[in-house]
Chain A
Amino acid sequence: MKLAFITPRYGTEVIGGAETAARMLAERLCQRPDWDVEVMTSCALDHLTWENTEPPGRSVINGVTVCRFPTASRRLLGYFELDAKLRVSPTTATLAESRRWVALNGPMCPDLVEAVAATDADIVACYPYLFATTVDGIAVSRVPTVLHPAAHDEPALYLSAFRQSFRDIDGFVYHTQAERELMEYAFAIGARPQIVLGLGVNEPVGAGRPGGDVLGIGDRPYLCYLGRVDEHKGCVMLAEYFERYKAGHPGDLALAFVGPVSDKAPDHPDVVVTGTVSEADKWDILAGARVMVNPSAYESFSLVLLEAWSLGIPALVNASCAATMEHCRRSGGGLWFESYRSFEVTVDRLVADGGLRSSLGEAGRQYTACYYRWSSIVDRYTRFLEGVVDRGHRAPIRSRRLQLAVGGPEYLRKG
């Protein structure tokens, strides 16, 4: 069986939930003897510019064959203008407007789309829903096609371009039950073949150093955020809440933001911002944390939560995030906050109560071991894909391919 993944960008350098998830799944799947896996992606690694930085053509990354195709355009500033307009009321945007939004969101890769149309794969898997490569890939695919939406409750999800595109999907693969409910609610796709798959957790590869040493804060206790440091990930809120918390609760508690910085890095004497770190540093920092905090309201899975739990580190999550709340409620491995007050009280409690931390961490560890082992996840995934292939490709309604947006100034990354 041959599977072709379609992703907007791909590579070990890409830090992003959906893209990392696609890579992890592809790397596990290509180890199965009866499975041949290929990734079709763009030559870009930066989702804000779509600048072609990688050479086109075939390469092999961790055993996976990767075919890169150049983007036809960098991101235009017109995207941000249209996004601001549609964000207010996405359901009232016209189909033409919403398709233009998808085209402007990119990446537009005409050669990739041609390659999807001509693929010799038995099945195509698009990952995630938000990008032009997915919408165009679905439009031209002639073989059974599944979608890993990696969706969360955001304005773009309600654009009619996606509703039109998803009519041709043969199966849906979700990270969580919350994501499935959201997609079913938004697109009335309850009758389609689908599976809640999740992701597996890698074995920790820490070097055994104290996390505080890696962060340069010695033996101070610390909370840890792991991932892209970005306003939309709740980092500004977390930084402000922590600053307020420290004003009322002086002490040696620190907060570490670990990951690439998209916006302005938080600036506070008790806040450490590491930028991108190695895998070994990441695991060591995580292992030394009192609590792993994920303040994002927009997660479709949150692999870092499971990574923390695999080390027995308890979690603190945003109560308005359906995916992380689902993990916490099912596992009993984390607490949540829904206001500054509940953040303050919960942090107080978690920092002071070692027994509570141990109990939550252990529950999270058991939950991760129980549900998120790679071997069983890949078994279920292959069984699902085989079922989709057996059913064959839906009689496609065939939305048209997106039109390349041209003209206007390009977006340039600051710095």
Chain B
Amino acid sequence: MAPIEPDPAAAERFDAADQALYLTEVMAEIDAEVRRRRASGDLPAGLEQELDELFLEFSPVGLHGKARLRETLALVDGSAYVDVAVPVESRKAVGSQIKRLIRKSMGWYIGFIVHQIVKFAWSVSRMFHVVVDHVEDLEAAVETQRTPELPASAVPANDPGSSWWSAEAVTAVSGVSGRVLQAECGNGSLLDALLAAGVDAYGVDPIESVIEPAVERGLDVRAESVLDHLEVVADEALSGMVLTGSIQWLHPNQRHRLVALATARLAVDGVLVLHSATPESWMAETSHLMSDLAPGRPLHAETWSHLLADHGFRRTGLTFGGEDRRLDRVLSSNPDASAINGAIDAVNALLLGPGEYLLVAVRER
């Protein structure tokens, strides 16, 4: 959730995390008491259901109703029955008699129609029950395949504006005419550079606390993941994207989704800039927690190029940088130089090499 810019003086006193914890405890106690009272049966079941349906009647079932399948189904069930016994009460004595007469004389006709309506409604309701059962089975199956969560504390702070590749990224998207998305934007340092270069840039980052400095500077940043964000962007709405951060270690399925979404959301001739660690440096440099729990691993630059080419991108630039951990060769004066340097070359090629790369591609179709 993107924070609203706080008033600095008041912000110092307001500890949202502490209060959230307290609220969770109170609501847990309330939930337990609700369950206890429901189980006690002190309200007639029919009345309790009626009161619950009243709540649902005035609740939205759209975007925020996704988790309310069962409750909504109960509402369908509750309204699937059509009562043919029309109320006959009336403030006038004769009115009641007339209503009773109409009900009696029309009863066979209304009953015939209602029987078919109720039959149809129950068939629909049964179908929904089957659908909801399937959905819940699917949800349970998906849950077992969920990758363990990578703790935010394990992810290094993202300050893309001070990186070796920032100037090149700015150059790559300078001159595009529409909006440029920067993910993950961290503290907004690269956004500052992009804006200074005249690029209409905005940013996303999944960690709310990280973007607070950018929010305070009035930048257009949102606290959401790049995948979630791209889901709500119109096709061809972006002229450029600068991607870094967790896109390096996305789960393969998510990476596939990212490439598909980036292709759809970028306009033709749109520029994609992608920064990543090399697989070799990532394994050597990242913490054990990070390398063990991250859902995926960084790809080689050639692999990204291949994936992007498959989706209609043409690679226009590839620069290696970051810490170069290659071992130096020994001097040829060393009597064993030939053997040692052979081994060093092999180690450099297989395990070491440049730490990061910046890939630039243009969407051609």
Q: Do A and B come from one complex?
A: yes
A400 within 8 A of B: no
CA distance A336 to B26 in the complex (A): 11
Contact (A318, B14) CB under 8 Å given A177-B1, A185-B232, A341-B37: no
Q: Kindly provide the distance from the CB of A188 to the nearest chain B CB, expressed in whole angstroms.
A: 4
Q: Which of A191, A193, A298, A345 contacts B34 (CB 8 A)?
A: A345
Q: Kindly provide the distance from the CB of A288 to the nearest chain B CB, expressed in whole angstroms.
A: 23
Binds A, one of B52-60, B136-144, B289-297: B52-60
Contact (A339, B30) CB under 8 Å given A191-B181, A193-B220, A380-B218: no
Contact between B34 and A332, CB atoms less than 8 A apart: no
CA distance A370 to B230 in the complex (A): 31
Contact between A188 and B16, CB atoms less than 8 A apart: no
Q: Which of A241, A330, A371 contacts B51 (CB 8 A)?
A: A241
Most A CB contacts (10 A, CB to CB) among B23, B38, B65, B237 go to: B23
The number of residues on chain A lying at the interface, defined by a beta carbon within 8 Å of a beta carbon of chain B, is: 71
A212 within 8 A of B: no
Contact between B64 and A191, CB atoms less than 8 A apart: no
Contact (A188, B5) CB under 8 Å given A345-B30, A346-B30, A370-B10: no
Chain B contacts of A329 at CB under 8 A? Answer: 20, 23
Contact between B51 and A340, CB atoms less than 8 A apart: yes
Contact (A356, B26) CB under 8 Å given A190-B229, A190-B233, A240-B54: yes
Contact between A237 and B10, CB atoms less than 8 A apart: no
B63 within 8 A of A: yes
Q: Kindly provide the distance from the CB of B187 to the nearest chain A CB, expressed in whole angstroms.
A: 19
| A 177-202 binary contact with B (CB < 8 Å = 1; else 0) | 11011101110111111111110000
A293 within 8 A of B: no
Contact between B19 and A331, CB atoms less than 8 A apart: yes
Contact between A196 and B10, CB atoms less than 8 A apart: no
Contact between A153 and B64, CB atoms less than 8 A apart: yes
Q: Kindly provide the distance from the CB of B61 to the nearest chain A CB, expressed in whole angstroms.
A: 8
Contact (A198, B220) CB under 8 Å given A335-B26, A366-B10: no
CA distance A297 to B59 in the complex (A): 6
Q: Which of A154, A248, A330, A335 contacts B60 (CB 8 A)?
A: A154
Contact between A177 and B2, CB atoms less than 8 A apart: yes
Residue of B nearest to A391 (CB): B200
Residue of A nearest to B23 (CB): A332
Contact (A345, B1) CB under 8 Å given A191-B233, A240-B51, A370-B7: no
Chain B's interface: helix, strand, loop or mixed, by majority? helix
Chain B contacts of A189 at CB under 8 A? Answer: 232-234
Contact (A191, B234) CB under 8 Å given A320-B60, A335-B30: yes
A92 within 8 A of B: no
Contact (A232, B58) CB under 8 Å given A188-B232, A370-B14, A380-B5: yes
Chain A's interface: helix, strand, loop or mixed, by majority? helix
| B 1-18 binary contact with A (CB < 8 Å = 1; else 0) | 110111100110110101
Chain B contacts of A54 at CB under 8 A? Answer: none
Contact (A370, B11) CB under 8 Å given A153-B64, A320-B59, A329-B20: yes
Q: Kindly provide the distance from the CB of A231 to the nearest chain B CB, expressed in whole angstroms.
A: 8
The number of residues on chain B lying at the interface, defined by a beta carbon within 8 Å of a beta carbon of chain A, is: 58
Q: Kindly provide the distance from the CB of A220 to the nearest chain B CB, expressed in whole angstroms.
A: 24
B302 within 8 A of A: no
CA distance A236 to B51 in the complex (A): 11
Contact between A359 and B22, CB atoms less than 8 A apart: yes
Q: Which of chain A's residues 9-62 have a Cβ closer than 8 Å to chain B?
A: none
B179 within 8 A of A: yes
Contact (A193, B51) CB under 8 Å given A297-B59, A345-B37: no
CA distance A10 to B232 in the complex (A): 33
Contact between B218 and A383, CB atoms less than 8 A apart: yes
A75 within 8 A of B: no
Chain A contacts of B43 at CB under 8 A? Answer: 248
Contact between A363 and B4, CB atoms less than 8 A apart: no
Contact between B232 and A184, CB atoms less than 8 A apart: yes
Q: Kindly provide the distance from the CB of B230 to the nearest chain A CB, expressed in whole angstroms.
A: 8
Q: Which of A190, A196, A298, A322 contacts B4 (CB 8 A)?
A: A196
Contact between B55 and A376, CB atoms less than 8 A apart: no
Contact (A339, B10) CB under 8 Å given A153-B60, A232-B58: no
A209 within 8 A of B: no
Chain A contacts of B323 at CB under 8 A? Answer: none
B133 within 8 A of A: no
Chain B contacts of A320 at CB under 8 A? Answer: 55, 59-60, 64-65, 68
CA distance A232 to B59 in the complex (A): 10
Q: Kindly provide the distance from the CB of A243 to the nearest chain B CB, expressed in whole angstroms.
A: 10
Chain A contacts of B68 at CB under 8 A? Answer: 320
Residue of A nearest to B217 (CB): A383
| B 223-247 binary contact with A (CB < 8 Å = 1; else 0) | 0000001111110011000000000
Chain B contacts of A85 at CB under 8 A? Answer: none
Residue of B nearest to A234 (CB): B58
Contact between B22 and A332, CB atoms less than 8 A apart: yes
B48 within 8 A of A: yes
Residue of A nearest to B38 (CB): A341
Chain A contacts of B63 at CB under 8 A? Answer: 153, 181-182, 185-186, 322
A244 within 8 A of B: yes
CA distance A44 to B49 in the complex (A): 42
Residue of B nearest to A155 (CB): B62
Q: Which of B7, B64, B181 contacts A373 (CB 8 A)?
A: B7
Chain A contacts of B55 at CB under 8 A? Answer: 237, 318, 320, 338-340
CA distance A340 to B48 in the complex (A): 7
Chain B contacts of A268 at CB under 8 A? Answer: none
Not counting A197-B4, A340-B55, A363-B19, a sample of 8 additional A-B residue pairs whose C-beta atoms are within 8 angstroms of each other reads A185-B232, A188-B232, A192-B179, A244-B51, A330-B16, A332-B23, A338-B55, A370-B13
Across the A-B interface, the 4 shortest Cβ-Cβ residue pairs: A332-B19, A340-B51, A184-B232, A320-B59
Point out residues on B near A: beta carbons under 8 Å: 1-2, 4-7, 10-11, 13-14, 16, 18-20, 22-23, 26-27, 29-31, 33-34, 37-38, 42-43, 47-48, 51-52, 54-55, 57-60, 62-65, 68, 179, 181, 200, 202, 218, 220, 222, 229-234, 237-238, 265
Can you list 5 residue pairs at the A/B interface with Cβ under 8 Å? Answer: A188-B237, A197-B4, A320-B65, A340-B54, A370-B13
